[in-house]
Amino acid sequence: MTPMTNPLLDFTDLPLFDKIKPEHVAPAVDMLLADADAALETVTAPAFPADWLAISKVLDVSSERFSRAWGAVGHLNAVADTPELRAAYNEAMPRVTAFWTRLGSDERLYAKYKAIDPATLNPEQRQAHKYAVRNFVLGGAELQGAAKERFAAIQERQAELSQKFSENALDATDAFAYYAQAEELDGVPDDVISAARAAAEADGKPGYKLTLKMPSYLPVMQFAKSSALREKLYRAYVTRASELGDPALDNTALIIEILALREEESKLLGYKNFGELSVVTKMADSADQVIQFLRDLAVKAKPYGARDVADLRAFASEAVGLQDPQPWDWSYVGEKLKEARYAYSEQEVKQYFTAPKVMAGLFKIVETLFEVTIRRDSAPVWHPTVEFYRIERAGQKVGQFYLDPSARAGKRGGAWMDDVRARWLRPDDGTLQTPIAQLVCNFAEGVDGKPPLLTHDDVTTLFHEFGHGLHHMLTQINERDVSGISGVEWDAVELPSQFMENFCWEWDVLRNMTSHVDTGEPLPRALFDKMTAAKNFQSGLQTLRQIEFSLFDMLLHTEYGAATAQPGDVLALLNQVRTEVAVMPSPIFSRTPNTFSHIFSGGYAAGYYSYKWAEVLSADAYAAFEETAGANGEPSIETGRKYRQAILEAGGSRSAMESFKAFRGREPQLDALLRHQGMAEAEPA
C-alpha cells in the first residue's frame, strides 16, 4: 500500500471518512509514527536551536498530522464501530499511547522548551509555552530511570483499560433487546412504537424491539403504563457492564485497576492523590475546594430535592395508585405529575420540534448573535445521515463542522463535540488552517416518512454541543495549543456549551424553531408558557443527582485509597455519598459506576464537577444577556459581540477567569445559577 492509496495519509484538506478502512490503520500509524519519531530526534539534537518556531516547524507539524489521522480512526471507532475496526484500533493504540507518553516526558525536549526565553514570544506563544513546560512536568519529564519506565507503562495500561471499559459499556448496551407485545406498550408514544416495530421487522422478529439506547429506553420509562415492562428495562439498564450481566462485559475489575494506576501515577509525580493532580490544570485551586463547593451546593439544593420527592410520593399515592413507588416508577410518576401540574407532556411538545426546523432555528440565533453565516458544505462522511456545514464571516470561511445526529448500533451513546483539526497559523508554510468540529448526538430517526422529532431535552443537548463547537470554531487565536478549546481549563470548558442551553428557553428563539410535524403550526405561546412554568420541575432532584456523581468522582480520586481497596469499596463509597446528598433511594442492584464513562473512559476523572462549576460561569454570563435584552426579550447584538470576543475568540490564550472578567467586568457569582434553577427564593418548608 503506497502512501497515496492510504486515505489516512491524505492531509490535503478534509478527512476521507468514506474511504478509511481497518486495513489502513496499521500502515498509516507506522509511517506517521516513524515521521514523528524522526522529528523528535531532529529537534532534540544538541545543535538544534531552542527556538519556538523552529521546533514547531518540525515537531508540531509532524505530530499534528499524526494526531489528525489517529483522531479520524478514534472517531470512526466511536461512531461506526465494527469488529475489524475495533481490532485495528486496539492493535495500534499501545504504540500511539507510547509515542505521546514518550513525547510528553522527553527530558531533551523539556530542556529545549525551558531554554526558550518567553520574552521572545508573542502573548499566544507565551501562554502555550507556559502550558507546555507545565505539561512536561505532568507528563513525567522530570522522572528518572525505573520511575520513568513505570510512568510510561501506566499510561499504556490506562489507555487499554479505558478503551476496554468503553467497549464493554457499548457492547452491554447493544446486547440487550426485548421484543414486546403490543399490549405491553400501552402509553408509549406512537413514534416510538413505530420505530420499535420497524426495528423488530429489520431483525426478522415479531413484536416491537425495545433497546437500552436513549430514544427507545427513555420514552418507555416515562410513558409505558406497564410497571413490569419498565422494571425489565430499568434493571437491564442499571446493571449494564456489571457482574449482574454478561461476565465477559463486567467493568468492575477494570474500575479497580484504573483507580490503582491513577493513584500510582499521582504519587510518582509527587501528588497525594489523583484528585490533587487533576486540579493542576483546572480553575479550582484544590480538590478540597471542589469538595467544599459541591457540599455547599448540596446543602442549598437538598431542601428543594426533598420537596420534589415529597411531591412525587404524594402524587404517586393519590393519582397513580402507587403506595410504594419503585426506582423504575419515578420517571413515569414524574411525567404524569408534570402533565397534571402543568397540563402538558414531553410527547405533546415533541411534535413541534422537527429536526430540520430545530437546526434552522439554532443556526438563526447563532448567525444573529455571533455575526456569522452557516451554509451547507460537502465532505466525505461516515454515514448517510451525517451533514457537513461551513461557518463564514464577511464571506470568509471561519470553520466547518460535521453533524451526526442519529442513534444507531455501533455508535457510542451520549453526545459530544470533538475536533478534527484546530485553527493554526501553520509554521511550515505560513497558511492559516481553519478549525473543523464534529458534533455527535443520539436522537431518534424519523419514522413513517416523517422528519425526526426531538424532545426539548434533545434540543437542549444539540445547543449544548453546538456551544462547544462554537468555542472551537470561532476562535481567533493562531497558536494551535491555545486556540479554541485547547488550553482552556477543564472546569471552564463547559461554559460556552451550557451558555447556549439558555436560548432553548427563550420565546423569540423557540417560536422560530418549531413546526408541528402534521400541521406545520409553530409552538403555541400557551404551551411555551406551560413549559416555562415547568422549567425547574424537579430541579432540586436534578441538581442533587449531578452533585452525587461529582462528589463520588472526586472522593473516589482522593479518599478511596486504591492501594488498600477491597472489592465492593467503590459501591460502598457511592452509597456513602448517596447517604450524604441524595434524597431518593437507589436500588441495591444498581451498578452506576460500571457505565460511568465520563470518568473511566472520557477525560472527566476527578473533573465531573466541572459541569456544576461551569454552570456558575455560564448562568452568570447569560445574566449579562438578560440585563441587556431588548423590549421584546431579543438578545443584544452588542452583548453577543462582547461575549464572542472575550470568551469564544480568546480560546485558551489566557486564563478562563481573565476571559470571564473581560466579559463580565468582575468574578463570577452564584446568584444567577440559583435563580435560573428556581432555588433563589426562600427555602421550601
Spatial contact of 414 and 215, defined as CB atoms under 8 Å apart: no
pLDDT at 685: 53
Residue 1 has pLDDT above 60, yes or no: no
Closest to 675 (Cα-Cα) out of 627, 620, 633, 631: 620
**465 catalytically annotated:** yes
**pLDDT bucket at 554, cuts 50 / 70 / 90:** very high
pLDDT digit string (tens) for 382-441? 999 999 999 999 999 999 999 999 999 999 999 999 999 999 999 999 999 999 999 999
pLDDT at 679: 84
pLDDT digit string (tens) for 300-322? 999 999 999 999 999 999 999 99
Spatial contact of 290 and 609, defined as CB atoms under 8 Å apart: yes
Side-chain-side CA neighbours of residue 322 (13 Å): 21
Q: How far are the Cα atoms of 459, 642, 677 from residue 344, in angstroms, in the given order?
A: 17, 38, 20
pLDDT digit string (tens) for 273-292? 999 999 999 999 999 999 99
Domain 3-142 classification at class level: mainly alpha
Q: How far apart are CA 352 and CA 340, in angstroms?
A: 20
- CATH architecture of the domain formed by 249-344+539-608: Orthogonal Bundle (1.10)
pLDDT digit string (tens) for 470-520? 999 999 999 999 999 999 999 999 999 999 999 999 998 898 899 999 999
Q: What is the mean pLDDT of residues 448-468?
A: 96
Spatial contact of 236 and 176, defined as CB atoms under 8 Å apart: yes
Domain with CATH 1.10.1370.10 in the chain: 249-344+539-608
Residue in 64, 124, 465, 615 annotated catalytic: 465
pLDDT at 565: 78
**pLDDT bucket at 682, cuts 50 / 70 / 90:** low
- Other beta carbons within 10 Å of 393: 14
Query: What DSSP assignment string belongs to 206-265?
Result: SSEEE-SSHHHHHHHHHH-S-HHHHHHHHHHHHTTTSTTS-GGG--HHHHHHHHHHHHHH
Q: What is the mean pLDDT of residues 80-93?
A: 97
Q: What is the mean pLDDT of residues 615-628?
A: 95
Q: What is the mean pLDDT of residues 636-640?
A: 95
Spatial contact of 427 and 61, defined as CB atoms under 8 Å apart: yes
Residue 586 has pLDDT above 80, yes or no: yes
Residue 564 has pLDDT above 90, yes or no: no
pLDDT at 306: 97
pLDDT at 678: 86
- Work out the mean pLDDT of the chain and round it to a whole number: 95
Q: What is the mean pLDDT of residues 447-463?
A: 95
Under 8 Å CB-to-CB from 456, ≥6 apart: which residues?
A: 346, 349, 350, 353, 504, 531
Domain with CATH 1.20.1050.40 in the chain: 3-142
pLDDT at 631: 84
Q: How far apart are CA 129 and CA 115, in angstroms?
A: 11
Q: What is the mean pLDDT of residues 513-531?
A: 96
**pLDDT bucket at 566, cuts 50 / 70 / 90:** confident
**Domain 355-533+611-676 annotated CATH 1.10.1370.40:** yes
- Other beta carbons within 10 Å of 276: 18
Domain with CATH 1.10.1370.40 in the chain: 355-533+611-676
Task: Taking the CA atoms of 670, 676, 680 and 685 in sequence, report the sign of the dihedral they define.
Answer: negative
Closest to 370 (Cα-Cα) out of 617, 665, 646: 646
Under 8 Å CB-to-CB from 528, ≥6 apart: which residues?
A: 507, 510, 511
Q: Which residue has the higher pLDDT, 632 or 236?
A: 236
First to last CA, the chain: 72
pLDDT digit string (tens) for 134-172? 999 999 999 999 999 999 999 999 999 999 999 999 999
**pLDDT bucket at 3, cuts 50 / 70 / 90:** low
Report strand pairing: 373-376 vs 208-210: unpaired
pLDDT at 375: 98
Angle at 21 between CA 15 and CA 24, to 5 degrees: 85
pLDDT digit string (tens) for 17-49? 999 999 999 999 999 999 999 999 999 999 999
